[in-house]
Amino acid sequence: MRVLSSELSPSARVDAIRALKEEQFDILVIGGGINGVGIALDAASRGLKVALVEMADFASGTSSKSSKLIHGGLRYLEQYDFKLVREALQERELMVATLAPHLVKPVSFLYPLQEKIKERTYVGAGMALYDALRGFKRALPWHKHISQKELSEVAPSLRLDLITGGYQYFDAQVDDARHTMMIARTAAKYGAVITTRTSCKSLIRDGRKVQGATIVDNESGEEIRVIAKCTVMAAGVWTDGLYESFGIKPGYKVRMSKGAHIVVPGSAIKSNTGVIIKTELSVLFIIPWGDKWIVGTTDTDYNEDPATPLATREDVNYILSQANRVLEPKLDKSQVIGVFAGLRPLVSSDPDSSTTELSREHVVDHPVPGFVTIAGGKYTTYRVMSEDAVNSAVSDLMRIVPDSCTEGLAIIGADGYSVLLNKADDLASSYGVTSSTILHLLERYGSLFNEVLEPAILDKSWSTKLIEELPYLRAEILYAVTHEGARSIDDVLSRRTRISFEAKDQGIAVVEEVGEIISKVLGWSKAQTQASIDEYIATVEDQRKALNQTLRETV
């Protein structure tokens, strides 16, 4: 009998691979992005036997390259998509207040106004509606008007010769990759079998009915037949290709929309709040991220390899030009220290429509018995999407299944988080670290912070920073592989931490130290360790070349 635990350790992966071979499941989930892990948690918490397979790492695709916002989508009000906005706002309130308060944090935004009467009335009405649609659960403050005089104090970098005032409102922010991984761990806690580096090769069929899938363990090369009453595919931008390889006619098409972002130092923009700018096509966010700013995003058709979306010269030019409409001094390409791009899997029935016009609603497809897919939607509404997908899948189980209970199911680390915040100074004294270190850990691990610091009780070197200018501890690198399922240096530096785009050198200076720490836990040989180091360095060099080429071409 498997012992249920949220710990995604190397030994837990061995047990999970064994379970895939030996057990039969109610639901097999293909995909370890936000929707896949959400489906695994929803199904496991209903008492179903669940397995999840992910070909790379949790959130290694779209779910780690979002704008990192949990928001209702202010711009969707102009599209009269009130249902989506209401749904997203209610989910935002749940995450901030109940489901993940340690990971999802309020963040303020300023909507600058350039006209005193007409625009103020129009935007103010939209802000009031945005507040009203969130319902009675109100974890975030109401919007308020900011005068031009107040504006100069709140956001000195905004052009006072152009902007007459603004509205300040609140949404929320999240480290998307960490949040996705923590949901996967929560699903494991409730019994789901979770594996990464496991690809779906083909479906197991009995006539039209799907009875599971043949899975390849990418680390050993072994093929495994996983038997399941229903297979749920949450493959995002890989959906159409998998449909074609499975020989199943889809009920929808996925259009890939590229969202590019740039990263600039905190000193580049003087503001105590984020900023949202309305553009001709969409909106642009200037988002605070630690001591940096993330600026984006774009919304353009993408028809190339979904595994390697890159920000282009046109993307960076667009972002800079839109931001510089309201900033003084203007951003310069020399200030760009990083770029990243993700792909939205939007549902489309019209090949000629613009991606900015496509709805962010999701679609659940049940094309043949034993096979369900889901696409579209927003990161913020993952929980609702997951519930809908499982509701469709349970019709293949031929038995009564409880309703979803995830609306009140906090993810691991949330329990006791607010109390621990109040005790941060006492905890710092007990563990011999600074209060800022405790706060950093609480906002990444919540009530599990003590697991991270456990090695430091006997060896204080684990509580020292890996990189002096960043808050990450050496213990966090160790914890990434002992508890969080990291299987490579890239997993650790790109997704368990955000060193890959937060460090000035993308973490190259510490890559060997990281390799030394994790190799002992993963049982790597020197050759395997060097291979992971080389893989990460090559990835960084490819990104640098792309960035340098983009910036050389940017005007």
Q: Is residue 549 one of the residues assigned to a domain? A: yes
376, 408, 440 - which closes a domain: 408
Class of residue 324 by CB neighbours under 10 A (exposed 0-12, middle 13-18, buried 19+)? middle
Asked if 112 contacts 283 with a C-beta cutoff of 8 angstroms, the reply is no
Residue 203 covered by a domain: yes
Choose the weakest-confidence range: 94-98, 279-283, 352-356: 352-356
Statement: residue 224 has pLDDT above 50: yes
The CATH number for 371's domain is 3.50.50.60
Report the C-alpha gap between 37 and 173 in whole angstroms: 19
Share above pLDDT 90 across residues of the chain, in percent, rounded to a whole number: 76
CA 221 to CA 177: how far, in whole Å?
A: 26
Residue 544 resides in a domain:
yes
Task: Provide the CATH number for the domain around residue 294.
Answer: 3.30.9.10
Look-up: residue for tokens 């610091």? 453
Structure tokens at 132: 């009203």
Report yes or no: 90 and 67 within 8 Å, Cβ to Cβ.
no
Give residue 108's identity as a one-letter amino acid code: S
Q: Is the pLDDT of residue 329 over 70?
A: yes
Residue 456 lies in a domain: yes
pTM: 0.95
If asked whether residues 432 and 538 sit together in one domain, one would say: yes
Closest CA to 476 of 490, 503, 496, 501: 496
Place of tokens 């240096």: 489
Asked whether the predicted pLDDT for residue 350 surpasses 50, the reply is no
Measured between alpha carbons, how far is 378 from 361 in angstroms, rounded to an integer? 7
- The CA distance from 236 to 239, in Å, is 6
| Pair (262, 150) in one structural domain | yes
Over residues 473-494, mean pLDDT: 98
In a domain, 446, yes or no: yes
Question: Which of 468, 467, 478 is closest to 445 using CA atoms?
Answer: 478
pLDDT on residue 274: 97
Considering the domain boundaries, does residue 5 fall inside one? no
DSSP string, 297-347: ---EE--S-TT-----HHHHHHHHHHHTTTBSSPP-GGG--EEEEEEEEEE
In-domain check, residue 1 = no
Q: Do the beta carbons of residue 102 and residue 443 sit within 8 Å? A: yes
Residue 319 sits in the same domain as residue 386: no
Alpha-carbon distance of 165 to 152, in angstroms, equals 9
Same domain membership, residue 72 and residue 54: no
Q: Is the pLDDT of residue 353 over 90?
A: no
pLDDT confidence band for 234 (50 / 70 / 90): very high
CATH code, domain with 436: 1.10.8.870
Quick one: pLDDT at residue 120?
A: 79
Same structural domain for residues 276 and 347? yes
Among 374, 389, 408, the domain-final residue is 408
From 321, 339, 357, give the residue that closes a domain: 357
Same domain assignment for residues 164 and 291 = yes
Residues 399 and 427 in one domain: no
What does DSSP say about strands 253-265 and 292-296: parallel, antiparallel, or unpaired? antiparallel
**DSSP-assigned letter for residue 484:** B
> Are residues 183 and 52 located together in one domain of the fold?
yes
Residues in the chain: 555
Give the type of residue at 101: P
Query: What pLDDT, in 10s, does the model give residues 177-197?
Result: 999 999 999 999 999 999 999
Which pLDDT belongs to residue 279? Answer: 86
Distance, in Å, from the CA atom of 371 to the CA atom of 378, rounded to the nearest integer, reads 22
Two structure tokens written together for 431: 């563990």
| Residue 389 predicted with pLDDT over 90 | yes
Residue environment code for 124-139, b if the CB has 16+ CB neighbours within 10 A, otherwise e: eebbeebbebbeeeeb
88 and 140 together in one domain: yes
For 442-451, the pLDDT digits (tens) are 999 999 999 9
Domain shared by 235 and 298, yes or no: no
Evaluate whether 167 touches 123 at the Cβ level (below 8 Å). Answer: yes
The per-residue pLDDT for range 101-153, each reduced to its tens digit, is 999 999 999 999 987 777 778 788 888 887 888 766 677 888 899 999 999 89
- Pull the structure tokens for residue 113: 């106004």
| Contacts of residue 423, Cβ cutoff 8 Å, sequence gap at least 6 | none
Domains of the chain: total: 3
Q: What does the alpha-carbon distance between residue 38 and residue 32 come to, in Å, rounded to a whole number?
A: 9
Strands (E), 18-59: 24-30, 50-53
Q: Over 80: is that where the pLDDT of 86 sits? A: yes
Residues 265 and 242 in one domain: no
**Integer Cα distance of 365 and 49 in angstroms:** 21
Range(s) of the domain holding residue 112: 64-175+255-357
Answer whether residue 4 is part of any domain: no
Shared domain for 225 and 263, answered yes or no, is no
- Torsion from C-alpha of 415, 66, 347, 385, nearest 10 degrees: 0
